[in-house]
Structure 1
Amino acid sequence: MGLFDVKKSCEAGQVDMSRLPRHIAIIMDGNGRWAKQRGLPRTAGHKVGAEVFRRIAKYCKKLGVEYLTVYAFSTENWKRPQDEVNTIMGLLKQYMLEAIDSMEEEKIRLKFFGDMTALSPELQELVEKTNAISKHIDGVQANICLNYGGRDEILRAARAFAQQCAAGEKHPEELTEAAFGEYLFSAGVPDPELIIRPSGEVRLSNFLLWQCAYAEFYFCDTLWPDFSEETLDAAIIDYQKRDRRFGGVKK
């Protein structure tokens, strides 16, 4: 779906507030290309992209979406230039410091998915503090996937269950889809109904591989720094037109 289609979809109708997806996940893609188009360093795109995330999280709260999950930094992103990695980590630090003071007022609680052990001790401490404060916040839950990979998440979950079996604490026949979900970073969070990827790329890039089983996908050409409330509306309107059968047949 191109940008023209996104605009047309926006004009074609309104979001049905009674049929909102409970959980929306977004692959925040296109920061580097946005900056390059403007003759700016890639880091400039990440800075604008961080502001877009703040705005979209607030808009999800306004709409009544319960969960928003964003792909901020993958396990593969460490391969990027060091100055770009440093900028992303700096933006995350800045956001967490601001969020610690504003979460209660804004009613946006944060949770981090991923392997935090690779982060600096300072960032690990901030993640722990942010998670602790968020437990007492009643509002939209924004899940930030940081040093996250879908395959890594599944592998860690399988290992954790296998270790419990080896210790005699669990038996293989006890493992169900629901039980396995409790070993994932996303334990306690419902699977996303809608996964959005801007920037024109049409792939998941190792994002929420277990959780995406019955998600609806929405792709658009808009680069993440240009992603707006109207773009999100268009994605939701498109989602609400889908016939979700979960493998069955509509009667």
Structure 2
Amino acid sequence: MRGWFRRRFDAAYERVLRHELSGAPTHVAVIQDGNRRYARERGDDPSAGHRAGAETTERVLDWCAELGVEELTLYAFSTENFERPPEERDRLFDLLETKLREFADADRVHDQGVCIRAIGETHQLPERVRDAVDYAERRTAGYTGFTLNVALAYGGRAELLGAARDVARAVDAGDLAPEDVDVPEIESRLHDDPVRDVDLIVRTGGDERTSNFLPWHANGNEAAVFFCAPYWPAFSKVDFLRAIRTYESREASWQRAKAERALALVRAFGSVEVREARAVLARLREYVPDGADVEVDPDGETRAD
């Protein structure tokens, strides 16, 4: 009876959340935490938790397609994971190898045009996992419908350090002038293929930290962050919709703040000519949220409707 009521409640809550949402973030990044704790609470070994987590990953791919998310990055194996016991690590490598090949051959991956890419220090992985990565990337290389980034042997500091060293070598060799080191130059050295800025980070398992995950693409973009208690295998569609709602709320607040700053800058001009004030507004209009109407009246005062 309790299970039936829970399912009815979740279905009703899902409808409410869907009604509240007006869109979706372009790029969602997920820290899939809690697989081992999920297994331990059920008396299973860690590999059972990782397998259950892989099933959640497949569901999340469907939810992203349904909601219009264009890019998903999964923190599948961090550099710290190399410190786990060898037996657990090998089982996780086996699962990664299997799932990469399964995803690469799945009909829905090809039907939806999913491009699978690995990011991270993949040369540190066992050969069988590297072969599976190569297979998945080759099988889906031509697709543009959706991008699935799998972070393997990944660490954010190592990523930035590698880009910095690459730039330093290029400058030292005379191939790059110091004044030409800019944002696009750094981004081009982070990954072989471009990764969109992250709009939303989701972390399951109860911990409230982002664990060195995509610092350039998330922190630099001031990504919204959603922490939730369920372990990754128990992460539900309702949890995902709540994460999207957090992103939308944060985005609306951010847009309001930018509009207020824009108006404050214009008002700071005081008694400047109306024509000059209008010129400033034209340059600042990109910071005003959609639907907001900002004008300068004949007396030089600004107003927002």
Same fold, judged at TM 0.5 (above): yes
2:224–2:246 contact (8 Å) kept in structure 1 = no
1:114–1:148 contact (8 Å) kept in structure 2 = yes
Task: Indicate which of 162, 178, 185 corresponds to 1:179.
Answer: 185
The aligned amino acid for 1:245 is W
Tell me the SS of whatever aligns to 1:232: helix
Tell me the SS of whatever aligns to 1:19: coil
Tell me the SS of whatever aligns to 1:112: strand
1:224 and 2:214 aligned = no
2:21–2:245 contact (8 Å) kept in structure 1 = no
Give the equivalent residue in structure 1 for 2:172. Answer: 166
Which protein, 1 or 2, shows the higher relative CO under an 8 Å CA cutoff with sep ≥ 6?
1
Give the equivalent residue in structure 2 for 1:212. Answer: 218
Q: What is the alpha-carbon distance in structure 2 between the residues aligned to residue 16 and residue 168 of structure 1?
A: 54
User: Unaligned regions of 5+ residues in structure 1, if any?
Assistant: 1-6
Deviates more, 1:145-154 or 1:74-83: 74-83
Give the equivalent residue in structure 2 for 1:43. Answer: 47
Alignment of 1:102-121 (within 5 A): 102=106, 103-121=109-127
The aligned amino acid for 2:83 is K
Q: What is the alpha-carbon distance in structure 1 between the residues aligned to residue 137 and residue 255 of structure 2?
A: 33
1:160–1:183 contact (8 Å) kept in structure 2 = yes
Q: What is the alpha-carbon distance in structure 2 between the residues aligned to residue 107 and residue 62 of structure 1?
A: 14
Give the equivalent residue in structure 2 for 1:65. Answer: 69
Give the equivalent residue in structure 2 for 1:3. Answer: none
1:153 and 2:159 aligned = yes
1:23–1:67 contact (8 Å) kept in structure 2 = yes
1:76 and 2:80 aligned = yes
RMSD across aligned positions (CA): 2.2
User: Unaligned regions of 5+ residues in structure 2, if any?
Assistant: 1-9, 261-305
TM-score (norm 2): 0.75
Task: Indicate which of 55, 74, 85 corresponds to 2:59.
Answer: 55
1:24 and 2:32 aligned = no
The aligned amino acid for 2:17 is G
The aligned amino acid for 1:181 is E
Tell me the SS of whatever aligns to 2:215: coil
1:15–1:236 contact (8 Å) kept in structure 2 = no
Q: 1:176 to 1:107 in 2, by over 3 A?
A: same
Per-residue CA shift, 1:39-73, capped at 9, x if unaligned?
11111111100111111112212221100001000
Q: What is the alpha-carbon distance in structure 2 between the residues aligned to residue 10 and residue 100 of structure 1?
A: 30
Tell me the SS of whatever aligns to 1:249: helix
The aligned amino acid for 2:227 is F
Deviates more, 1:227-236 or 1:129-138: 129-138
Count of residue pairs brought into register by the alignment:
245
Q: What is the alpha-carbon distance in structure 2 between the residues aligned to residue 31 and residue 131 of structure 1?
A: 26
2:101–2:135 contact (8 Å) kept in structure 1 = no
Please state how far the C-alpha of 1:122 moved relative to its aligned partner. 2.4
Give the equivalent residue in structure 1 for 2:128. Answer: 122
Q: 1:15 to 1:144 in 2, by over 3 A?
A: farther
TM-score (norm 1): 0.90
Give the equivalent residue in structure 1 for 2:90. Answer: 86
Q: What is the alpha-carbon distance in structure 2 between the residues aligned to residue 41 and residue 134 of structure 1?
A: 33
Please state how far the C-alpha of 1:113 moved relative to its aligned partner. 0.5
The aligned amino acid for 1:153 is E
Q: What is the alpha-carbon distance in structure 2 between the residues aligned to residue 153 and residue 110 of structure 1?
A: 19
